[in-house]
Copies of this chain bind each other. A is one copy, B any other.
Amino acid sequence: MTKNYSSEIASPLSSNHEDYLKAIYILEARGEQVTNSVLSEYIGFTPASATNMVKKLSQMDLVIYRPHQAVSLTPTGRRVALEILRHHRLLELFLHKTLDIPWDSVHEEAERLEHVISEALEDAIAASLGYPKVDPHGDPIPTKTGEIGHTPGHPLSQAKAGRAYRLVRVLSQEKERLAYLGRLGLSLNVELFLREQAPFDGPVLVEVAGVEHALAAEMAALLQVVPASAK
């Protein structure tokens, strides 16, 4: 039950606190300005509730809050967020690899588990997986000390036709979307051949395991790929 960050934080954090911090981290990492509306929409509470909570997190020195400004994480806040994200992504991979939970389901399961696993369990999971670097969607797993790498690759929507690629990351956790990709045979590290890149944000034609599929531009933008030869 001892958390990494327990030494730095006075009161224990609830799942909710952790969810706010994680949300702020993710929105920041996306490069967005974490305004109150962006945050409240993301977490699914009203703007008033978000203001309220952000103020409390600010008193705990987890975020920096200035009225009418974007929120940001303090170093401690970031540490907490990264610890939760580490739990989340380790759990996703663990559930997928050890229990065969489909990749479109692991997210919501991990969403609840991430708040209740101990350090010891986190360590045991990491060890059993051989200290992995990415989760089943290709998202990087933060280290215990709070470092996080960035996955290489670029969107399939910006790739060149007539070349082979390898899928290294999917920028979505939506169950339906992931299930759809799964049905096309598109999962992590799968190779694909880019047949055609329609102009004006048109669909993309890809070949996966010998079968051709058309993908909406919006979908292709979520698929991060590297040239097939690259490690």
B98 contacts A120, C-beta separation under 8 Å? no
User: Count the A residues whose beta carbon is within 8 Å of the partner chain — how many?
Assistant: 20
Query: Would A101 and B120 be within 8 Å (CB), given that A1-B108, A108-B1 are in contact?
Result: yes
Give chain A interface residues in 108-123, CB to chain B under 8 Å.
108-109, 112-113, 115-118, 120-121
Cβ-closest chain B residue relative to A115: B116
Cα distance A121–B124 when bound, in Å? 19
Assess whether A37 is interfacial by the CB under 8 Å rule. no
Q: Is the CB of A121 within 8 A of B98?
A: no
Copies of this chain in the oligomer: 2
Residue A50 interfacial (CB < 8 Å): no
CA gap between A53 and B101 in the complex, in Å: 36
Q: Which residues of B lie under 8 Å from residue A105 when comparing CB positions?
A: 120
Q: How near does chain B come to A98, taking the closest CB pair, in angstroms? A: 7
Q: Does A95 count as interface, using CB distance less than 8 angstroms?
A: yes
Interface SS, A side: helix
Q: Is A99 at the interface (CB under 8 A from chain B)?
A: yes
Q: Which residues of B contact A99 (CB under 8 A)?
A: 121, 124-125, 128
Q: Chain A 62-104 against B: per-residue CB contact (8 Å), 1 yes, 0 no?
A: 0000000000000000000000000000000001001111000
Closest Cβ of chain B to A96, distance in Å, is 11
Q: How far is the CA of A100 from the CA of B118 in the complex (A)?
A: 14
Q: What is the minimal beta-carbon distance from A226 to any residue of chain B, in angstroms?
A: 32
Measured between beta carbons, the chain B residues less than 8 angstroms from A118 are: 109
Q: B121 near A109 (CB under 8 angstroms)?
A: yes
- Measured between beta carbons, the chain B residues less than 8 angstroms from A95 are 121, 124
Q: Would you list the 6 A-B pairs with minimal beta carbon distance, nearest first?
A: A112-B116, A99-B124, A109-B121, A99-B128, A113-B116, A109-B118
